[in-house]
Structure 1
Amino acid sequence: MLKILHAIISNKYQIGEPLLKHRNFLLAVLILSGMIVFGLALQGCQIEDGAPAFDDNLNWLTVIETPPTIFETNFDQIQDQTEREPTAQEFDQDDQSFWPSFPPPAIQPATPIPPPLERLEIDDHILVWVLLGTDTEPPFSGKTQAIHLVFINPRFSKASLISIPGDLYVYIPGFTMQRLSTAYAIGGIETLRTTLAYNFGVLPSRFVLAHPGDFQWLVDDINGIEVTVFQPIPHACGGIPAGVIPMDGTLALCYASYRDGMDEISRMQRQQQLLQLIFHNLTHNGNLAKLPTLFASYQGWIKTDFSLPELMGFIPLALRLADPDRIGYFLIGWDQISLWEVPGYSQAMVFLPDQEAIKYVLETALSTILIPSPLTNQFQTLEAQLIAAQQATAISFQQSTPIPPDAPTPSEPLELTPPWETPGVSATPTTLGYP
């Protein structure tokens, strides 16, 4: 497998000019696909305990009376001064014992601030990442309406993804009670990390943030997808009936973005469904061999603290997680939240979290990746497809593209260190995990 990665990296330097930049979202999905944080190769859309599967019954919501005022801020046009990669001084990714302090509020909160959720007990070898999707193009931050926590166990090649509603009303340390979706716009990735630590007992060590608008390019690049629509959408997106629907990029983007009132849960379920289909396409037929080219093409648009060598090193894990039933999907859903109608002229709605119910979902998501299970023969098939794709790509580049003077040659091998052998990465290879 390391020879495959070496060859793929080498081909990257023979491409010359990068591909036309489709910008942020494509790279975001590819990064997450390469690292398999979504585990989108499962058969069908698997929703674990903690949320109903594709159920739009809004009668489960509980309306709760709350104090008469709420602090509301317009974050749609905040200048994007926070979108930068954090430095080592800001956050030490290798320090598993680090836990942030929680400053008092700077603004009087509309509701009493709840106590911080107890820190979740996570073994050192478990990776914790967060995927973010903002609703505004740069140079503005906007709100992060897509928030997904990811737990990964490299030893057993298993992962869990937990989708969190952006309208969850939480304490943002040092600021006030506010929607979770505003934390990044207020103080960047460090504020978001601290907010997640306070309200979920989890401190992600890595992040990926994407802007909207380019998801449709990705779907078009893979020649569209066929989506099984469980609940029709008659009054948006040109009308989408139930059934198996071919979707191009424009229709898929509308399907993933549409929200009926406060039904954020159904939207998150549709997003998980689409990501599974896209990931299945990217992990099959050797498509991960294109990762270096795409990274070079879209670098600078996506916000992340991952490097290309790290992503390449995660390809073996990606192929294993593409094996059926390696990844569980969870939601902070109707059983973990209550709907709050804000009094006053705005009539805004937010979700109030049930801390104990949320803690149970997180603990369940974590426990599922601690149970080993054997791989099927699909991994060998995907590995063979990747080898064939790499070999075909290498031949194509040699025939059509001149090699720049500074490209690696056989006498100058490019060494690739897998992330589990890189200092500071705690994952340990086993026979059930990495090769």
Structure 2
Amino acid sequence: MIPEADRLGQVQEYYFSRKLREVRGLVAQGHPVINLGIGSPDLAPSDAVLEMLTEAVRDSGAHQYQSYQGLPELRATIADFYLKKFGVELKPESEVLPLMGSKEGIMHISMAFLNEGDEVLIPNPGYPTYASVTRLVGAIPRFYELEGKANWFPDLEALGNSDLSRVKLMWVSYPHMPTGAMASLEQFEELLAFARAHQILVVNDNPYSFVLSKEPLSILSARGAAGNALELNSLSKTFNMAGWRVGMLLGAAPLLNAVLKVKSNMDSGMFYGIQKGAIAALKSGQQWFDTLDATYRKRRQAVFELAGLLGCSFDREAVGMFVWAKLPEGSADSETFIDQLLYKKHLFVAPGTIFGSQGAGYIRFSLCVPEEKIREAIERVREYVPGGNQIMRSE
């Protein structure tokens, strides 16, 4: 067998890829697993989006290679969306770059700006892909710790007092994944001032602004963002289009041009029909967002009840499609806790530790499950121990 590349020694298979095989195995054995771990929307896109896709596949040229920069109409619609929702003005021809999902953007950005040995500031807890991609391109992850008492925002003063001479890039994600914490405009401005002072490019990964959030915010609306920040966004969560793989990168033209150099060598453009469907989604009226929030609000209330039965504490003001919950004192560690839930009650939730060491003692519930399934999960916990509270202690 030909040996794998050395770089693969720096990463592991994605946790959910590995764990879901285990979950599927239990389902294949006849166990009725309720999956509260994955943030993959179970709802459908709007009828307008589906109709647009159906019509678009018959358009002339729909099945040819598409532009690496996406349809001009899609870029213009993204710019209009950002102006309407965030108050951010963008030039469609040079400051908007459609992506095949924002996950590919993490790789493309890293390849565009990082050299081997460069350091990257990565949130702990945070999205595991930031660290994996950093290692794959030969750069060095440097984790900065986030804490609940600071509402999961970095201690910029402490970071500034450390040696940042080799840091090139900083990943942030607000609303924060996995905790759902929001950042204010003032905090974004502090973050940008910190980045300018240390010549660091800040990238905000922002796919959760329109799920249970009253005040959507973009880092690009903050003073000092021009040329110092990029923002990733996605249609996966807001428009129930996770499998469509539609994302976008926004920011100054020179930065996007660097990313385009990578992207244009990696793919041959997004399918035309998907782009047309994305255009329809981005033109959705307020009723779409209100209906989405109403659904997630009911589910979140049910998850609050479930988390309470398990003895967990949580922030009722957090946003996004997850509930980040602190395990009760005396509980098993988070991975043991979720395995006990999985094998004793066939409920799968995500352990906080997969998002970093600061996730120890936490678990994460997904809201991408019908309310009746969450209610079923509640009944399973009630049956396990009457009252449910603090049902799984460390042994």
TM-score range, shorter chain: under 0.3
Which protein has the bigger helix share? Answer: 2
Question: What TM-score do you get using the length of structure 1 for normalisation?
Answer: 0.26
